[in-house]
Amino acid sequence: MNEVIQVIRQHRSIRKFKNIPLTGEQIEAIIDAAQMAPTSAHMQPFSIIGVTDQELLKKIAARSENPWIEECGYFFIFCADLHRMMLAAAPDQQEKMGANLNFSYFYQTAVLSSALALQNANLAAESMGLGAVIIGGITGALPELDQWLELPDFVIPLVGLAAGVPDEFPEQKPRLPRSAVFFENRYNPDLKAQVERYDREIEEYYGARTNNKQKASWSGKFIAMLDKDLPLGGYTEYVRSKGFDLK
């Protein structure tokens, strides 16, 4: 097994960091790795914003309820960015380009490219012995975050990455069995028995782990989350306000 696969297989989310900032060399290595992620048509439709302002970090941490944002060695925000590709166009071209960017294909491409860049960044951090946690909770404060970061149209913050020197080594969460994720030639919808076995495994994991023990299963977690009305309409409204009508 090569070193890259070993790093990948050792992954766990780190939420407790030592009070040691990342070096400039480490930050640049993480950004360079993110930029090497594959991207459709060489579009590169993402941007990364590093947050160093302590007051801004405090506001983002409080608003997203993720205190480790303040405590990590460096905090990155990954954004879908379709603004940059229009900068060299004439005004009439920009108008037509903006109309075409309403097709969901382009938003999906920007989100996917951002996710690939994010994973490269996360892997780069872990390969240097750092810890990291991906934070989707920043999207709970989109209007404020948009204002704080001074984002133009067609730029949307998607997710944060807190990286730093780890001050914990938590248990690794069991993953779904390979047979429930990987199929050859066609999808296998007959997965209920495998999911039920996995639910039991997750219940055992949560009951046995050292910190934050709880009684929960994988399915039960998402049933509880989705079997109710969710206040997520604001996300769609925000995306539309940034220029995406998503046809």
Q: pLDDT digits over 96-147, tens only?
A: 998 888 888 999 999 999 999 999 999 999 999 999 999 999 988 899 999 9
The verdict on 123 and 189 lying in the same domain is no
Percent of the chain exceeding pLDDT 90 equals 77
The verdict on 163 and 201 lying in the same domain is no
Asked, for residue 111, whether it belongs to a domain, the answer is yes
| Short-list 37, 43, 34, 160, CA closest to 109 | 43
pLDDT top residue among 231 and 68: 68
Quote the pLDDT of residue 200: 95
In terms of DSSP bridges, do strands 155-164 and 46-51 run parallel, antiparallel, or are they unpaired? Answer: unpaired
Of 142, 170, 198, the residue that ends a domain is 170
Domain containing 220: what range? 172-229
pLDDT in tens, 10-64: 999 999 999 999 999 999 999 999 999 999 999 999 999 999 999 999 999 999 9
Asked, for residue 240, whether it belongs to a domain, the answer is no
Q: Would the pLDDT of 68 be above 80? A: yes
The sheet that has 74-81: what strands, in order across it? Answer: 46-51, 74-81, 155-164, 131-135
The verdict on 138 and 205 lying in the same domain is no
Number of domains in the chain: 2
Asked, for residue 235, whether it belongs to a domain, the answer is no
pTM for the full model? Answer: 0.94
The verdict on 66 and 187 lying in the same domain is no
Report the pLDDT averaged over residues 192-214: 88
The verdict on 38 and 123 lying in the same domain is yes
The verdict on 93 and 165 lying in the same domain is yes
Quote the pLDDT of residue 30: 99
Q: Would the pLDDT of 211 be above 80? A: no
Q: Would the pLDDT of 213 be above 90? A: no
Q: Would the pLDDT of 78 be above 90? A: yes
The verdict on 89 and 126 lying in the same domain is yes
Rounded Cα gap, residues 142 and 232, in angstroms: 11
Report the pLDDT averaged over residues 229-236: 79
The verdict on 102 and 202 lying in the same domain is no
